[in-house]
Chains A and B, each alone.
Chain A
Amino acid sequence: MLKEGQVRIPSGCAISGMFSKAGKCFNGEAIIKSIEIMHDRSNGLGGGFAAYGIYPEYKDYYAFHVFYDNTAVKKECEEFLHRHFDIVLDSEIPTRKIPQITDEPIIWRYFVTPLPAKLKNSHLDEKEYVVRCVFKVNTRFSGAYVFSSGKDMGVFKAVGYPEDVGRFYRLEEYNGYCFTAHGRYPTNTPGWWGGAHPFALLDYSVVHNGEISSYDANRRSIEMYGYKCTLQTDTEVIAYIVDYLNRKMGLSFQEIASVIAAPFWQTINKMPPDQKARAEYLRNIFGSFLVTGPFSILVGFEGGMMALNDRLKLRSMVCGEKDDMIYIASEESAIRIIEPELEKVWSPAGGVPVVVTLNGGNA
């Protein structure tokens, strides 16, 4: 059977996220509890977490989380990393051996910064340099896969039920201001760790529930801009679109939402003229990045999080608020289990993004 990346595998899912607007840090136990209650929305073929604010002592370094199939490719890949980066620390990512998680690859973590001379000669900005190196590893070294590459954040994922994955990675030992989680229900059994969510590039991470019908239109368009969709998953393509629109095009997350889940023309037609002109412009110019079909996504980024439903709201997604905390999940139960006393609970309308940032910062 073909591995993920060689064949496109649709999947259903559960997502959950929690965010402290005040930047208070909490450990990963709550998010595990939240995703665990939605156990039936996963089928044990993938689970994962993204955590922000977890590496304060190395926050100026890109944290690479890498899966290796064997030590030979690890050696080869490390030679590549050494040629391109100053590696200030590398170590195995601590895990807990539990019977539910098997067949683990070698899981390594590196804190890196680009070698100044290499970076200068590349004529690229720093982030683009990092992105290109990540793509090089993921496409050139068979058996090596960088699945997390942001600063002061990290992705932890595996094949298994998400609550087991969280315990496997000892998430209770990490403290961050934002966690997102994902439980996967793929309609195939690839059994590859890289295929689990979240999908991340730099500090952008995406967890996603749904199956988008615009996939190949989106993929073929984003690949024109230097991205390579090696996994053939919806989540990967959405992550690249977010990176492209935010980092390269400079669109805000509100604007990104009106590209990915663009307002219907019947809504645009009722807007005041200048707002209408801008909405029409985004649909015209970035039409290829409109995502159709059911989805609810949580996009994590440095200092913020965005939740977004497809414009018809074909997937459930609920938000809850208490003090400075915001909770977003596929089901309300996943919020109530960790915070029974919510001040506010609501279901965002299709295509209407919920964007939260640290201390009301810009996004």
Chain B
Amino acid sequence: MGINYIVPEYRVVRDPDRCIGCRVCERQCANEVHSFVPQTGKMAADDAKCVNCHRCVSLCPTGALRIVKNEDTFKINANWSNKLMQEIYRQADSGGVLLSSMGNPEPYPIYFDKILLNASQVTNPSIDPLREPMETRTFLGAKTKKIQRDKDGKIIPNASPYLELKTPIMFSAMSYGSISYNAHESLARAATELGIYYNTGEGGLHDDFYQYGANTIVQVASGRFGVHADYLDTAAAIEIKMGQGAKPGIGGHLPGTKIVGDISRTRMIPEGSDAISPAPHHDIYSIEDLRQLVFSLKEATNYQKPVIVKIAAVHNVAAIASGIARSGADIIAIDGYRGGTGAAPTRIRDNVGIPIELALAAVDQRLRDEGIRDNVSIVVGGSCRCSTDVFKAIALGADACYIGTAALLALGCHLCRSCHAGKCNWGIATQRPDLVKRLNPDIGYKRLVNLVEAWTHEIKEMMGGMGINSIESLRGNRLMLRGVGLNEKELEILGIKHAGE
């Protein structure tokens, strides 16, 4: 047996006075960290297998468990961190590409945290949302301004197809396959109850979920998995996925071992075959090709549904968005580099793309400069972590936000970032029936509803505080924002003033 170079990142600490040997931890851990040692009659733990998902901690009836950062360290080196060294050992072992899950965890700047909000004082009254209407209803789609009147001179409502949201938040694309049936059911039911939308991702739509079609956005991605006429017809909107914030420029790969049963049927590919989404759409090598796909989908659905084009936030995102806004698309979704994923090469996830705040500000301004902002709505994700992130995004110019990671957290995810292993102890990012059943959709959907309602309450409070009583008066209202600790260039790109100005 070779030398094990890898030092566990976390340690499982068990309080022997509290542990009663009930073995719940052992049964709950799909990573097989915990085991019962008959000789001693005690529980043992293999730290090396622990991903720090906190399932055992949450379920331990006596509170006997803690997961702590392993204090063991290699010789301290400001250039060669423990993490980098371990990655070298791992690659030297396997010869493989490093894989990671969920969003970029590295300490890059978070611009949302450097933006502060305004409130009314004296010259303009704040509004109490408990006493006055406070409106968050949002429409997504092209705002084509062509007034037509009937013979009596009354306006004919001729709006382009649009989505109507009770609150400017949607659940972002997560495929059935990357997450479980129960997770999908939770999202679909929550979206329906909330009057918002969830997104199938590129995994097709399970037969059981067609009933939620009115609140479903279906995705058409480079692999075209699960795309057929009924799938498009059932949806409220169709999203063409050009890119993803966690892995701009590359495709996806769901291993054949996960393509079983319903997943195989829903994706319309044989059991056991790898589901490989190519890096580009092979029918889209430029913007004019995108236009053709947009109109193919519109043609296929009789021009009844808005088409979303989702792109990753990359360096020239403003120019790309400008092209999309002229492509016939109704909505542009931009995914920031903090956006989550079920699996991505670590190097890509941690180094490709730009912050969503900057991308959003640049796109919104560019589309306004070109006079085409009304051609499209803008939806941003990756990552909106709380109601203030959503609020600031709207004030920067977004029409609505996609939340993915926050939604999974509501379902129990603890961001252990091991989705790619397929052994999610919380029943979210797994297809193992024994794990999937741990997520109860009756409870899960309610938690999602609670989360979005709580955020909506907070958004209303902040709107009222600044004397705004409808969300459209916040959209693009950058005077309501001030930067703290940002340099001139950052302020210029964000289009906001510094605090005190």
Contacts and interface: CB of A to CB of B under 8 A. Distances in A.
Nearest to B149: A250
User: Interface size class for chain B?
Assistant: 35 or more
27 contacts: A210-B124, A213-B473, A217-B475, A220-B397, A220-B478, A224-B371, A224-B374, A262-B470, A264-B135, A265-B133, A278-B154, A278-B155, A278-B157, A280-B157, A284-B139, A285-B143, A287-B470, A287-B475, A288-B475, A288-B476, A290-B472, A292-B468, A293-B124, A294-B125, A294-B467, A312-B132, A312-B469
Contacts of B466: 213
A292 B145 contact: no
Contact of A213 (B120, B137, B476): B120
Interface of B: 120, 123-125, 127, 132-133, 135, 137, 139, 141, 143-145, 147, 154-155, 157-159, 162, 368, 371, 373-374, 397, 466-470, 472-480
Contacts, number: 116
Interface of B is mostly: loop
B474 A217 contact: yes
A55 B141 CA distance: 46
Given A217-B477, A265-B133, A281 B155 contact: yes
A291 interface: yes
A184 B373 CA distance: 34
B477 A214 contact: yes
Contacts of B143: 284-288
A214 B147 contact: no
Nearest to B364: A220
Contact of A285 (B124, B145, B368, B477): B145
A217 B470 contact: no
Nearest to B136: A265
A293 B468 contact: yes
Contact of B476 (A217, A266, A292): A217
A225 B143 CA distance: 14
Given A213-B466, A221-B368, A290-B470, 16 more contacts: A187-B123, A214-B473, A215-B477, A216-B478, A220-B476, A278-B155, A280-B157, A281-B157, A282-B155, A284-B141, A287-B139, A287-B470, A287-B475, A288-B374, A290-B473, A312-B469
Contacts of B145: 249, 285-286
Interface residues of A, number: 47
A277 interface: yes
B476 A312 contact: no
A284 B480 contact: no
Given A265-B135, A280-B157, A284-B139, A224 B469 contact: no
A277 B476 CA distance: 26
Contacts of A280: 157
Contacts of B371: 224-225
A283 B475 CA distance: 14
A12 B159 CA distance: 37
A76 B368 CA distance: 32
A29 B462 CA distance: 46
Contacts of A311: 469
Contact of A284 (B162, B373, B469): B162
A216 B137 contact: no
A211 B124 contact: yes
A10 B124 contact: yes
Contacts of B162: 284
Interface string A5-36: 00010111000000000000000000000000
Nearest to A220: B476
A314 interface: yes
Nearest to A295: B124
Nearest to B126: A213
A229 B472 CA distance: 20
Interface in A246-305: 249-251, 255, 262, 264-266, 274, 277-278, 280-288, 290-294
